[in-house]
Amino acid sequence: MKKLFLLLFVINTVNGFAQPDKALQIREVLSREEANGYSGSVLVAGKGKILFEGGIGFADRESKRKQTAETVFSIGSITKQFTAAAILKLEANGKLGLNDPLSKYFQDAPADKKNITLII
């Protein structure tokens, strides 16, 4: 929750700047947060243009390894719930069926994969 709040804080703070160089203001905000112990990867984009992409703080505090935009996070299985919710939303909107074969959406699927469905 703290990370979501920081992201919203950065977006709202940057939107309030009148100066043209928003990347500099984003770095300033993130530098203050890094001084308070925040670590994470950040991507801020607007109107199809990346304003800031990078990491702040440490990826590993013990070894002092810095966070970067390419830092890999060990998130385990946490994304499965989001994928399941998205699939059920698509089904509710009639965009796909849980019993549709993979080949319905990927015509070039290998023969041994063509009949795989979301509900096996």
pLDDT tens track, the chain, 120 positions = 455 444 445 555 555 544 457 878 888 898 899 999 888 888 888 888 888 888 899 998 899 999 988 888 887 788 888 989 999 999 999 999 999 999 999 999 999 999 999 875
For residue 29, with 0-12 CB atoms within 10 Å meaning exposed, 13-18 middle and 19 or more buried, which class applies? Answer: buried
d(C-alpha 29, C-alpha 37), whole Å? 13
Pick from 22, 33, 77: which is nearest to 55 by CA? Answer: 33
Cα–Cα distance list, 64 to 29, 61, 73, 77, 102 (Å): 22, 5, 16, 27, 45
Query: In whole angstroms, what is the distance from residue 120 CA to residue 117 CA?
Result: 6
